[in-house]
Amino acid sequence: MAGVFDPSRRHRRSIRLRGYDYRSAGAYYVTLVAQGGAGPFGRLTGDCVELNDAGRMVQAAWDGLADHYAGVELDASILMPGHLHGIIVLTGAGSDAPGPARSLADLVQRSKTLTTKRYIDGVRDAGRAPFEGRLWQRNYYEHIIRDETSLMAIRQYTADNPINP
């Protein structure tokens, strides 16, 4: 029967740290990957990323996360033709911040949902190339940044990503 979940055949092991509260204040490094490996967000020319219309939309949505969600700050990020690397800093929603603290997973899901909707709007309204299935891969990579040395190394990796895609 198609569409029925069979855990013996399709079990994905979680890469999340068991027991860790991903609402906790701290810095997190994430990578979101476009489905299918093609570069729907632009192209590399030499060591520079040239974003297309869809890439500029995704970048603007990413840059706007901190404006829309209390307790969220953004650090280094880079949008490549087929993936995004970024550092999200959760500061913890203070008593004066509206709403509950967001988890890392919630922020990633909201970002993917928003960009997918806006991408589809661009397919309909602006002639953007359609995608098959999903815009983003189902999961995402995350790493809890635990110290300044790790933060600096991840910032450097992010900055160098167009050179070493």
Domain boundaries, the chain: 26-160
Q: What is the structure's pLDDT at 102?
A: 86
CA distance 81 to 49: 7
Structure tokens at 90: 């959760």
Q: Kindly report, residue by residue over 48-95, the tens digit of the pLDDT.
A: 999 999 999 999 999 999 999 989 999 999 999 999 999 999 997 654
Q: Residues 44, 30, 102, 110: what is their CA dihedral angle, to the nearest 10 degrees?
A: 40
Q: Kindly report, residue by residue over 87-119, the tens digit of the pLDDT.
A: 999 997 654 555 667 899 999 999 999 999 999
Residue 4, pLDDT above cutoff 70: no
Which CATH architecture best describes the domain 26-160?
2-Layer Sandwich (3.30)
Q: Can you list the alpha helix ranges (DSSP code H) found in the chain?
A: 53-63, 65-68, 104-126, 148-160
Question: At 102, is the secondary structure helix, strand, or coil?
Answer: coil
